[in-house]
Amino acid sequence: MPSNPIISGEFPDPSVIEVDGVFYACGTSNDWAPLYPIYSSVDLMHWELVSYVFPEAPSWTSAGFWAPELFYRNGTFFCYYTAKDKSGVSRIGVATSTSIAAGFEDNGPIISWGKESIDAFVNVVDDQLYISWKAYGLDADKPIQILGSRLSANGLALEGEVFPILTADANNWERGGIEGQSIIQKNDFLYLYYSGAACCGGECDYKLGVARSRTMLGPWEKFPENPIMSDYGSWKCPGHGTPIAHEEQWYYIYHAYPSEGFPFMGRAALIDPFYWDDQSSWPYFKAKEGDSSASPYSPLDFHDSFEGDHLKKEWRWNGTEYSPQMEISKGRLQLSALDAAPTSPVVLAIIPENPSYHISVTLPTQGESFKGLCLYGTASNNLGLGVKSGNLVVYQVLQGDYQNIPLSDNYVLEGASTELRIQVEMGHIAEFYLKTNHGWTSLKHPSGDVIRIKGDFLEFWQWGVKPGLFVQGSGVAEFYDFSLSYTPSSEPAN
């Protein structure tokens, strides 16, 4: 029995392929760059981050970087991906590469359908390439459908007429929404795994269903006992994944929210075996609610002292239309907000693997820019602890309204550098600390109460809360050291 999660932290919409004995998984990045992280594995259980599809957003895109779909044929890797164009319409593009670790070359959009086309999947039937996708999600006068088309031999264009595959049912568990499809062939049938209902956020009720047909053109029959997977154990809202065979066993790799810290952690990647009923030829999980074990993994601490000349690959930044201005040299990260909007911070973030952790940083006490540690939901909802012109600042941004949190008067920043810490519980509750000669000291209100922000407002429907570094305003900020640790810290002095 596999142990879950296989990729902890946030990794939605996993697409998985096998090439020459190596498995590659790619997932949604949302509006965090670099775009579309890629992991590799030789056994489906142990995964390593190796690269990203794009270091910067393709020129035709603006936001909404979802559901990458990996495909491989004749020495070429393909990534079919969803992104919003400059007008805000979600379209499907394709990028190619002959070396998955070296990045991809964009070939532009190939599918635009109504007000939304997302979640591409490519499969081969009798040596013919087919692509399927979700359509009409934002078209009020049309039911949501999964559509299909033949693909050209080079994988870069549609051929022939587009045909319907499945239509969402508003009167059952699908609640009028279906997406995240993937197709395999076994014996005389094509099997289409799909997800239904609401995918994301605190109100999600995602589930997994299956349908089958003898041809891509149908008719497709939905399994009468759908859904075949729903909430179970310590996982919520499972779905949108890829079936794949390994050592004569079929597995489904998919995403789900951990119930601990829900929904602030985002969706992790899980794996479960599935089987085939000898009588009906339908697939099934041994338990309808899933086979996964509870989370036995130990999250890995992260530390960066900014040695060398480039960021560690785990860092993400909150912008797809710009790259942060940065330079790393001699144990210092210099980060500038010059290309960002004046009122928005530039954020370098790490995806947490557990909802209980603390982050810390060492940085200069002086400087023009406002810089420090943050918990980031969106530009309109975030909180942090920083230093500005030699002064200590705790802040929150709630629905776009910036607020300084009043501090007791007895915090004096001494010396050329300052050490800060934020302790996080349940993925969204924050307490703040300053390193003094007496150790870590908790920050308090003028009343003497410890400052504790319950960041319910950090929730965003599509991604989890991310801790990291921020800089805002003019000038260049320096950071000397950053760490994220899951080990309980020693009791702070007060």
> What six digits make up the tokens of 343?
């009122």
Question: Whose CA is closest to 406, among 441, 370, 446, 373?
Answer: 446
How are strands ordered across the β-sheet holding 48-54? Answer: 15-19, 22-26, 35-41, 48-54
One-letter amino acid of 37: P
DSSP for residue 457: G
- Compute the CA torsion angle 107, 111, 114, 118 (nearest 10 deg): -90
In the chain, what are the helix, strand and coil shares in percent, each to the nearest 5?
0, 50, 45
Of 10, 119, 179, 353, which one is the catalytic site residue? 179
Which residues, in sequence order, are CB contacts of 149 under 8 Å at separation 6+?
Answer: 130, 131, 132, 158, 159, 160, 161, 162, 163
Helix (H, G, I), strand (E, B) or coil at 100: helix
- 69 near 134, Cβ under 8 Å? no
- 467 near 357, Cβ under 8 Å? yes
Question: Whose CA is closest to 136, among 104, 166, 97?
Answer: 166
Active site residue 13: yes
Of 10, 13, 106, 174, which one is the catalytic site residue? 13
One-letter amino acid of 307: E
The Cα 397–Cα 382 span in angstroms is: 5
> What six digits make up the tokens of 200?
């994301």
- 376 near 347, Cβ under 8 Å? yes
Active site residue 419: no
Lookup result for tokens 């599509």 = 462
Q: Which residues are catalytic?
A: 13, 179
